[in-house]
Structure 1
Amino acid sequence: MGRRLLLVEGKSDEHVMYALCKRHGVPEKFRIKPAESVEGLLDLLQIEPRASDMERLAAIVDADQDVGARWAAARARLLRAGYRDVPAAPAPGGTFLVDAEARLPNLGLWLMPDNRLPGMLEDFLSFLVPRGDGCLPLVDDFLASIPSESRRFAEIQHAKARIHAWLAVQEEPGKPLGQAITARYLDTETIAASEFLAWLRKALVE
């Protein structure tokens, strides 16, 4: 069996993936490689498919503020790598590419949070906050109450501030994101988690 590799943007993403896979018993048939930046990950989308021993490749990239622009950047790298039928937009359940004729590995691509909305890993994790949780609305009120002149994070980082503020008021305050999954503060049985895990299994395991 050839190599199976999951590309993620950074260490935090890596820890979340390990915790999520362990929580759901996903077989350890692939390695996770953090790229340390979104640009680094996009570049790897062009480089890694050409590895002679690569059997399957998957990547998780934040959509950030513009889903269309981020998809276009990823699509351009994949076309340069040799994939021919790369769709013009991401599939709602995650994208899969199979190009046996070009002798490229099967590839899966997921845009965080859900292939539809702008956002990032932390937005996806906010979908895993247990239904009926009473703290998240209070966190939202607190963040909204901070005057713009006193707010120290950029608006693009709002999702990070939100999930970490929520984690700061859990039983053991301030757990990192991956540990929050292990501690079951986050509910990995949600529809959002199930859809993501179905994509991951199809891309790298099944």
Structure 2
Amino acid sequence: MIAGPNAPVRFFVEGVDDFHAILHLLRRYNLSREETPQFPKFRLPRNENEHDHSQGKRAVLDAIETAVKANPNESVGFVLDADDDVQASWEAVAHRLVNVSVDAPAGISSHGFGGRSSEWGTRVGVWLMPDNQRPGELEDFLEELVDGDDELHLYAREATQGARSRGAEFPDGKTSKAVLHTWLAWQENPGRPYGTAIESGYLRHDSDAAVRFVVWFRRLLAPDPQSTD
């Protein structure tokens, strides 16, 4: 059996920023609860007031096996940050997939992962932010949604780097986040959150990065997402 046409995707993300960014990106493609019965039911498997980034990722990893077992013949999706090591992040996911009878390759495709549990029939999709190939996180993905010719974004990166020499204390791994927030602070409506920035068109829903993500998501809605290429 496969999931019925009206079965929603159970979609697990690390935190509130991921939730709103992905939600508004999908809406720009008319993937909404009103128009798409399978529109995801998001899950935030951590306290939304908890700001420990690694705890959010750990919670998503820990949710994989339970979600696959709890949603037989339906679809579940997991979006996690690759952080500093794409391969290590994928191996952490793959280990849990194998435990619930999902064949997982040695490495994740640039198109994301799609597979099915041979025991429970659950369709499973995995995306490692930003693009399944590079180290990084949500903000690295969102930076790809900025127009490549946007001079203000280039200046935001220069200004952010310059702030380091003046005592700014954000770690190297959070540079993209600092740049993105700086750039958003300079828009007509300053400081809009990620989801609203997508809705307002500051972040382009039709960029190559956004299109690749939406193609992966649509495969998760399809009857058989076994192929990831």
Structure 1 length-normalised TM: 0.93
Of residues 9, 12, 19, the one that matches 2:14 is 9
Give 2:100's match in structure 1, choosing from 63, 81, 100.
81
> What is the alpha-carbon distance in structure 2 between the residues aligned to residue 54 and residue 149 of structure 1?
55
Match of 1:33 in 2: 43
- 1:148, distance to aligned residue in structure 2 (A): 5.0
Structure 1 residue runs of 4 or more that deviate by more than 6 Å after TM superposition: none
1:109 aligns with 2:126: yes
Shift of residue 56 of structure 1?
0.6
1:55 positional shift? 0.5
Q: Structure 1 pair 205/180, CA: closer, same or farther in 2 (3 Å)? A: farther
1:32-181 equivalence runs, <5 A: 32-36=42-46, 37-53=56-72, 55-83=74-102, 85-99=103-117, 101-148=118-165, 150-181=167-198
Q: Alignment RMSD, CA only?
A: 1.6
- Following the alignment from structure 1 to structure 2, what is the Cα–Cα distance between the partners of residues 61 and 20? 16
| CA apart distance, 1:143 | 1.4
Task: Determine the C-alpha separation between the residues in 2 that align with 1:113 and 1:28.
Answer: 27
- Normalising to structure 2: TM-score of the pair? 0.84
Cα distance per residue 1:163-192 (max 9 Å; x no partner)? 111100001000000000011101111111
Deviation at 1:151, TM superposition (A): 1.7
The CA deviation at 1:43 is 0.3
- Stretch of structure 1 that moved more, 20-29 or 191-200: 20-29
- Aligned counterparts of 1:105 and 1:3: Cα–Cα separation in 2: 12
Q: Structure 1 counterpart of 2:193, which letter? A: P
Going from structure 1 to structure 2, the CA distance change for 1:70 and 1:102 (only over 3 Å counts) comes to same
C-alpha distance in 2 between matches for 1:205 and 1:178: 25
Alignment check: 8 A CA contact 1:58 1:204 kept? no
Shift of 1:19: 0.5
Tell me which moved more, 20-29 or 146-155. 146-155
Could you list the runs of 5+ residues in structure 2 that have no partner in the other structure? 47-55, 224-229
5+ residue gaps in structure 1?
none
Bigger CA drift: 30-39 or 1-10?
1-10
- Indicate conservation of the 8 Å contact 2:72/2:122, yes or no: no
Secondary structure of 2:18's match?
Answer: helix
SS at match of 1:188: coil
Structure 1 CA distance, aligned partners of 2:37 and 2:171?
Answer: 37
Give the deviation of 1:52 after TM superposition: 4.8
Q: Do the aligned partners of residues 59 and 152 (structure 1) sit closer, same or farther apart at CA in structure 2, a change above 3 Å counting?
A: same
Distance in 1, matches of 2:168 and 2:184, equals 19
Match of 1:18 in 2: 23
